[in-house]
Structures are given as structure tokens and as C-alpha cells.
Amino acid sequence: MAVDEKLQTVRHSCAHVMAEAILKLYPGTKIAIGPAIDNGFYYDFDFPKDTKFTETDFPAVEKEMRRIIAGNHDFVRKEVSKDEALKIFADQDYKIELINDLPSDATITTYEQDGYLDLCRGPHVANTKEINGQAFKLDKIAGAYWRGDSNRPMLTRVYALCFAKPNDLKDYLTMLAEAEKRDHRKLGVEMDLFHLDPEDPGQIFWHPNGWTVYTTMQDYMRKMVRRDGYQEVNTPAIMPRTLWERSGHWGHYQQNMFITESEKRLFAIKPMNCPGALEIFKSRQRSYKDLPLRLAEFGHDVRNEPSGTLHGVMRVRGFVQDDAHILCTEEQIGPEVAKFCKLLKAVYHDFGFDDLVVKFSTMPEDHVGDLETWERAEKALSDACHEAGLDYEIQPGEGAFYGPKLEFKLYDCLGREWQCGTIQVDYQLPSSERLDATYIGSDNQKHHPVMLHRAILGSFERFLGILIENFAGAFPTWLAFEQVAVVPVSSEFDDYAKQVNETLLAADIRSNVYLEDENMKAKIKQISMEHRTPYILVVGEKEKAEGSVCVRYRFSSKKPQETMKVDDFVKYVQDKVNTHFIGI
């Protein structure tokens, strides 16, 4: 058994121990489900109406769990009939529902430890002694509708962390503490980057500081795709129901679309840009000589995400993608995917991410098109991966409803995984059954192109949230909203400070001059904490006389301050910006 599978078994077994402890401490509680998840497990409970379970109850539950674990109890598996299972769990409503939903010929198993019996497929560890009593910790409480249905009872979901060794738990808690300090929602307020309005959930109000970083990212991506042979387009924000029906989105994605009506016609605010790109392709006759046609769009999309799933700028309703659609022949899929992968790696490198994992997602249960076409698409994408020299992991059934896809996952400085870039092979949308896009081939006949959907950053909003947390707000110089702060040692040198600032601005360096009457050290502390500015230039009598600046670096403990001529400093910063240098 692989190490991760063994750990997941330990976690699931620990979930049963937690359920036993809670039932002993809170009689009359109903139990639902308790799976292992990344870094631990959870269990859903329906507590008696007179019981208010909170995080203050965690220590008592943990103490009881450790008592159970110390008893060295075996996990005993038993197969039972459906009738037996219904009798065993007669007082557990949620278990009864699960049992009744099982096929009549299903093998039903129970697991028992220390007199606690649970309905479960397993597997479990052989004995509670395989669970380290110092390597788990109850983490948090959340509400969870039974079976994810908002019309069903709201249960109390208790999350717990669980690892093989106490040091693993300690390291993870340290990482969580660091992640909390880096939380983009907290830093977004401290650095005046953006705000979220509860009256307008899932929409971001970007302030000047945050919008500067946002547009810097967008300008960078615009330059990169232009160099890579893309043409930029823009498509309408609202398009008619008839178009979404033909594309397949109305039948497969309508629950995520905002619908509006005008003049007795239904329209949808676009949740994605692909139908618009095909409409541009179809606007005139195309030839095989026009292919591949690479259409890039920074399209603003809106998706009706449940309010409970929204999370800062990471999960929103309104966002902009660095989207593009490549119309090509079947023979061009391999070279285009390889070309895209090269671009993606270059972009990620400039943002400081070089450690990538590729996931290959295959046909989902909810899909359009026949099996034969899907097999062609999956083979074409697989062949393209080999051509690009990519190793990948298979994610069965995780493709888009119209085609298989590659997902590119990056890792931040805390080792957290983020899925951002993606490329999908689509034979469906351009077909005669959908939007019927055609080109004239070398045989002078009409053919349907293949459509490659691709994004590198994904949504700008989410990627910026990742960057805020990865850099803890201390953006590399080329991204920082304030690259330089000029601070005179006293008001006597305000004019020279202004002169230096004007020189920097003329060189397209984002600079501000701070002329307030505050103490110089107080100004520098404020700039460092609120803006995390890479360079603070202190100017006084000596600097004015020499035409120089005293450069204080953001991480002064790593790089001592030094005096430089103004022109030399300008060249220094421009070099860091032009090379997208991650440090300072």
C-alpha cells in the first residue's frame, strides 16, 4: 500500500474514533458521513436541539478520542444483509437513508471498535494503536446540508487534522499560521488593494494599488501572447439564448449563468468566451491557410456561484480570464499544444513558479458528442503531450463537457497546490451539430476546425490572490504597485526629493515622494508595512550635493543600503523590471 493510501486509511479510522467520542459525550446525536480528506477528515453530525456544539468543546472530544485510541481496540469488519443493516441503524436516520439507497444486491459492511458500530465500506487500520494520539487535532466547524441539498437538514461538520507523526502535524500547523498571515483578504485591506462589498457578493472593487498590479499583469500577458502569434479580440458581455443553446451551454451550464430578458427574448451574461470567439471565426470565409488562428481575449465573465462558496478574490462571480481560442486542423493539435506549453512555462517562470504538475482530464459523465469523437480528442491530446515532452497524471471523468483537457498545477512558497492553466481539445463546438464553423481545405471542400480552449493564469482575480499570498504582499519589483518611495530626511530637502521622483516617473518607474511632516523613521516604517515597497530612497544634504540617493532595500537584512547616482539607480530598476526579476 502506498504511503498516502495508508495515511488516508488512518485518517478515516480516526474519523470513526471521533464519531464514537462525540456519541459518548453527546447522547442522541445522529451521525451522517465521515470521509478522509486532504490533511485529515471530517464527520457530519446532527446534534440534539438542546446541544450547542462549538470549538470550545474540542478539548473534551480530543481527550475522549485519545482514551479510545489508548484502549488498543480492533476494527472488526462484518458483512450484513440490508434487513440487518436497517435493524442495526434503526435509530440513525441518515444511515437508514444511505442503506435504502443501496442496490438490493449490494455488499453492506459495518466496522466496529470499542462497541461503536458504523456503516462503512472501509478499509480501516487493524487496531486503534495504529492511530497516533498526538498526531491529530480537531480543526474547525462548518455547516453542511445533508447530501449537499439546501432543502435538506443543515448538519454540523466537524473538521480535523490528522497525520502519521506529531511533527507532521506541527509542521502543518506552522504552515497554516504562516498562511493566515499571508491571507490575501487580510493583506488586501492592509495594503489598500481592494475591498469586497457584502451587498454585491463575488464582485471585486479594485483600489488604485490593486488595480496597478492587475493592469501590470494584464499588460504583461498582452505582450506575451502578441509575441506568440495571437490576435486580440473582444466579444459582447450579453448574448442570446439561441447561441447558448447551440453551443450546449444552456443545457449543460445554465445553473451557473445569469439570465436576463429584453423585448421578450432571453439573454445570458457570458460565463465564458468560447462561443463569441467562434462567431468571429465564422464572420467570413476561412481557408486552411488561415490556420492555426489564435484569438486571445481578456474577456470579463460572470458565473452564478453559490454565495457560500465565494472566497475573497480566489472564488468570485465576476472575473477576467487570460483566455484564448486556437482554431486549427487536427494535424496542428500537437504543435499548438507544444507551443502553448512552452509559453505557459515561460509565463509561470516570470511569476516565480517553476514547479509544475500536469493533470490529464478525460470524458465526464455529463458530456456532448459521441464516444468515437471523444476517443479521437483524447488521443490527439495525449499525442500532443508526448510531443511537448509532458508527463501527466490521469484524472478520469474530470474533462469539460465538450472535450478532454490538461490542467497545470503550480506550487507556492508554502507548498500549496493551485490549478491555474488549462488547455482543452474541442471537436464539438465547431461541429455542424453545434456552431457549425467551417474552413475551405486544400481539397477545396468545407471542413470543421478543431478548437483549442486555453488559459495560462486562469482568472486574473484568482491569480493575483495567489501572488499576494505567495509573496506575502511583497511583490517583485516589476509587479509592485509602488516600486520606489522617495523620502527626504527633512523638509529642507523636499525639492530635491521631488526632482528625484520626477526623474523616476519620467523613466516609467512607479514612484511616490513622501513629504509629510512625520519623523523620517516613522515614514519609512509606514511605507514598509503598508506598501512593502522594494526600494526606499532617502535623500539629504549629501545626496543633493552628489546627485545621488541612499537606497534602502525592502529586505535590508539580506542586502545593505548603498548610495547610487540617480541615473545608475534608474538603470538598476529598469533592468529588474525588464527581466521580470523575482528578487530585488
Nearest to 102 by CA among 87, 117, 86: 86
Respond yes or no: is residue 395 known to be catalytic.
no
Respond yes or no: is residue 325 known to be catalytic.
yes
The residue whose grid cell reads 509542521 is 171
Q: Which of 30, 73, 303, 554 is catalytic?
A: 303
* 222 phi/psi in degrees, rounded to 5: -60, -45
Cα 569 to Cα 511: distance, rounded to the nearest angstrom: 13
Q: Which of 95, 367, 405, 447 is catalytic?
A: 405
DSSP state of 311: B
Cα 484 to Cα 500: distance, rounded to the nearest angstrom: 11
- Name the H helices within 228-369: 241-247, 249-252, 274-281, 333-350
Would you say 16 and 111 are in contact if contact means Cβ atoms under 8 Å apart?
Answer: yes
Q: Which of 44, 46, 139, 323 is catalytic?
A: 323
Cα 319 to Cα 299: distance, rounded to the nearest angstrom: 8
* CB-side neighbour CA atoms (13 Å) of 38: 3
The DSSP element (H or E) to which 113 belongs, if any, is strand 108-113
Respond yes or no: is residue 367 known to be catalytic.
no
Respond yes or no: is residue 386 known to be catalytic.
no
Q: Residue 316 CA to chain centroid, in angstroms?
A: 11
Respond yes or no: is residue 447 known to be catalytic.
no
Cα dihedral 125/130/136/141 (nearest 10): 20
Q: Residue 65 CA to chain centroid, in angstroms?
A: 34
Respond yes or no: is residue 462 known to be catalytic.
no
Q: Which of 453, 523, 531, 532 is catalytic?
A: 453
Q: Which of 8, 321, 428, 483 is catalytic?
A: 321
Q: Which of 274, 341, 385, 420 is catalytic?
A: 274
Identify the sign of the CA torsion 238, 243, 249, 254: positive
Single-letter amino acid code for the residue at 529: M
Active site residues: 274, 303, 321, 323, 325, 405, 453
